[in-house]
A and B are shown apart, each in its own frame.
Chain A
Amino acid sequence: MFEGLPNEYDIIVVGTGIVESILAAACARIGKTVLHIDTNEYYGSEWSSFTLNGLTEWIQTQENPVTNINPQDDNERIMPIGNPLNVFRNIQLKWNIEKTNEQSSTTTENDTPKITLDVLEKQSRKFNIDLTPKLYYATGGLIDLLIQSNVGKYCEFKLVSRLLFENNGQLDNVPSSRADIFNSNNISLIDKRLLMKVIMNCSSMAIEDLNEDENIPFIEYLKKQKLNDTLCHLIINSISMVDYNATTKEGIIKAKRYLDSIGRYGNSPFLYPLYGNGEMSQCFCRLCAVFGGTYFLRFPLAGFTIDSLTNQCSGIVATTGERFRAKDAVICNNSFMESISSNKNVIHRTVLFTNQSIKSSEKDEITYVRLSSPNEFGIHIIEVGSGSGCIPDGFFLLYIFQEKPQENINQIVERLLNLTGDNFTRANILGQLTFDQVETLSTSISSPVLKLLLTHGPDGSIDHDGAVNTARNIFHQIYSNGEEFLARAPDPEDIVIEDDGNTNDTSTTNTNTENENL
């Protein structure tokens, strides 16, 4: 099975999650030979997206066979891998609809066809269900990286068109731009002025100007600006998106991020990838492959080879005994470490399959709601419809997860239903998927050996900043002599083919070649 595959590389990357994929692309980009593997038969690891049938398969396949390999000589030690799928626990998928129409015992006199599971399964390909739903700030973070590296041309995005918040027992639009505030009927004239003032201040001020205010709680600072409770809640919860005990400095930095991101692509600060978050890993893998990276999915990985003398990781070994060496480093997702099983920090994730939006609209929307209150961690709710390419027409996916788990999912769903009123009720929830995802970002699993660098999975936040920073840090750890991290790939017009040795005639030769190609 390994015929034709070289055994030596500069870098071996294990796992195709976002952090690993960014690193694989960055290393290939500076000319290193990269072998990028995954034990799964799909890209993305914990960050992938599945079709409906794919999801069912994933739920059933939580086992990976583990094989014992013996060291080939005294200088070598083998460190076996754990089961990377152990990061997922308590997976439950419950449908509230019948499997097929024949099972339905009630005879319907009216002609409305009841939605059955097999109808959804027939359209399985139209589903792209994220294991790790995330949104993308229009400035900074992953979007800037996509643009800078030119990987952006491999993917498409849609604007998260609707941002809602909890206001007086219902879900209202978050007014965050001048236009929103102008058009809002729910804010008094004076409050409009005060709100605009605070927003413009947040955008334009330098953090240094805060002076003593820097460390006071953000909520106090906002009250000093004469904002009422509702507006303070709006800014803390839906614009800065910090917890109530955040400092003013944190609040303003995040508010700036949000406000700077509005207007770049539209009247909202967030983007969502067409066809789901699983696309992201694949885009970086594509760049890696373009620059010569080698890909191997469903790789039968047994463990890592460690050089006993230097205690350095020298590469990986397959269950067949075949060994692959890495000269510079092995990068591996920490879900492959056996010790991950004892990890207690989890993110509770829920996906609801619904046939009605939480708030009706004339057009297709991608909606984000952040719920929170004092003493509570933020609850993220993302709703996508068929326009996102993630679900067939007439249905919606509702992702719910909490920054750090505090409330149980039933309480959260109950709370949401109280806000949606008659438009969206329990009857609209066709199915519910819940699972726990071990949170491996903040858990510092230190690498047991040199030259084995560990990455991590997603956290409970709404964005990717943590992942991008880790990738950058690891890259500079391995290559610390000023190599550029994901430099821009050249535009096609600037690439010319010239004949060997004809450097004097470069200009004319190039023009002619160009014209021929046109």
Chain B
Amino acid sequence: MSVHGQVKIRTSAEQKAARERERAEKLQLYLTQYQSILNNRYLLDSFQLLKQTENVLIDHPDCFTLWNIRRESILKLNDDQQKEYLEKELQTTQICLKSNAKSYSCWYQRQWVLKLLKDKFNLNLYQNELQLCKKYLEYDERNFHCWAYRYYLLERLCPSSSSSSSDLESFYENELSFLRSTIGVNLSNYSAWHYRSKYLDKLLDHNPSRRSSLLSNEWQLVLNAFYTDCSDQAAWFYARWLLFKQIGIEFINEDEHIKPLEELDNIEPGNKWCMLALSQLWKGKNIKNDKRIIYLEQLANQIDSDRAQFYRDQI
């Protein structure tokens, strides 16, 4: 307890007022700094501009103009300084990402830096970036900026077609296994399933002899997903791609593909995904089944009437 004054605890009205004051002060400071940079843009040298913009961007990372100014300033530097500042830029953007992990500007800036550094390709740098992506995906597995950036990195790191075939194959398999573990943590992760489809495609193109075993395993994975949670759409979308685009109608067989879905339908009647998948499969394989039309009508009229026309079109 202080000698001079009383200890007092703020009421919620006072708390709110305090927060408003704080926000107003912050806004004022930002506007002043921003205006000053714009006014002096052509008067200051690159280094000063980089310093000043950094101060503002750390708290307000989504200001496009300031990032533009940074890019301009870095491009004005000579080769050695440029390299140094490009690498520093990675650190700067990392700090800014702490304010907003989904800032378009920050992620774009990182890509821009890597593009410029491309000629001085540094494997460690890319590995570090991959680690960073992994960390950010742990914080938020749906950060699509991070996913897109990760794939940009993987394109860069992918062994070229001139390197050994097994290198390329293990590269794809590593990625598939990373995606598998991400899905293992949360099977609703649509991004993970989406990228899985891309890499499966690449692996199948690269090594067609493994086609049937890979597709079989993949089907088991996806069956596992909708038996665990039959309402999760990510797995169903993937299944649709897998069945119709990858496996192909001729190779879909009743025992492996259709029967498990029919069993699921028995346990979980009224599940729109299952009903739709079965309707499409029965039609595709020319299996005469009265249920098909009944299901499509149920879907159109009751279960998913928002998409009624979509179902009716299939009848």
Contacts and interface: CB of A to CB of B under 8 A. Distances in A.
Contact of B9 (A179, A196, A494, A513): A494
Interface in A11-26: none
B229 A178 contact: yes
A498 B7 CA distance: 7
B188 to A, nearest CB: 9
Contacts, number: 64
Contacts of B270: none
B224 to A, nearest CB: 6
Interface string A168-205: 00000000001101110000011011101000000000
A3 interface: no
A499 B9 CA distance: 14
Chain A's interface: helix, strand, loop or mixed, by majority?
A: helix
Contacts of B8: 495-498, 506
B21 A511 contact: yes
A193 B264 contact: yes
A498 B5 CA distance: 5
A190 B262 CA distance: 12
Given A179-B187, A182-B184, A182-B224, A196 B229 contact: yes
Interface in B154-193: 184-187
Interface residues of A, number: 23
B187 A182 contact: yes
Contact of B184 (A179, A189, A513): A179
Contacts of A507: 17
A500 interface: yes
A291 to B, nearest CB: 13
B225 interface: yes
B274 to A, nearest CB: 11
Nearest to A494: B10
B40 interface: no
Interface in B225-242: 225, 227-230
A193 B227 contact: yes
A490 interface: yes
Contacts of A196: 228-229
Contacts of A190: 227, 263, 267
Contacts of B6: 497-498, 500
Residue among A182, A183, A190, A507 facing the most chain B CB atoms (10 A cut-off): A182
B267 A179 contact: no
Interface in B213-269: 223-225, 227-230, 260, 263-264, 267-268
A179 B180 CA distance: 12
Interface in B1-17: 2, 4-10, 15, 17
A136 B184 CA distance: 26
Contacts of A498: 5-6, 8
B9 A192 contact: no
A495 B5 contact: no
A288 to B, nearest CB: 18
Contacts of A490: 9
A193 B266 CA distance: 12
A499 B184 contact: no
Interface residues of B, number: 27
Contact of B7 (A179, A181, A495, A506): A495
Contacts of B229: 178, 182, 196
A495 B9 contact: yes
Contacts of A494: 9-10, 15
A490 B7 CA distance: 12
Contacts of A179: 184-187
B277 to A, nearest CB: 15
B223 to A, nearest CB: 6
A192 B187 contact: no
A194 B230 CA distance: 11
Interface string A474-518: 000000000000000010001111111000001100010100000
B228 A194 contact: no
A192 B5 contact: no
Given A497-B2, A498-B6, A182 B225 contact: yes
Contacts of A506: 8
A495 B18 CA distance: 12
B224 A497 contact: no
A366 to B, nearest CB: 20
Contacts of B186: 179
Nearest to B232: A178
A189 B221 CA distance: 11
B228 to A, nearest CB: 4
B4 A497 contact: yes
A500 B7 CA distance: 10
Nearest to A191: B227
A189 B230 contact: no
Residue among B5, B21, B186, B268 facing the most chain A CB atoms (10 A cut-off): B5
A192 B267 contact: no
B184 A183 contact: yes
B5 A500 contact: yes
A189 B260 contact: yes
A36 to B, nearest CB: 22
A189 B187 contact: no
Contacts of B263: 190
B255 to A, nearest CB: 14
A341 B269 CA distance: 62
Given A183-B184, A495-B9, A192 B228 contact: yes
Contacts of A496: 7-10
A193 B5 contact: no
Contacts of B9: 490, 494-496
A490 B12 CA distance: 12
B18 to A, nearest CB: 8
Nearest to B230: A193
Contacts of A178: 187, 228-229
Instruction: Give the 5 A-B residue pairs with the shortest CB-CB distance, closest first.
Output: A497-B5, A189-B227, A182-B228, A494-B10, A490-B9
15 contacts: A179-B184, A182-B229, A183-B184, A190-B227, A190-B263, A192-B227, A193-B227, A193-B230, A194-B267, A495-B10, A496-B9, A497-B4, A497-B8, A506-B8, A511-B21
Given A182-B224, A183-B184, A196-B228, 6 more contacts: A182-B228, A190-B267, A193-B268, A490-B9, A494-B9, A499-B5
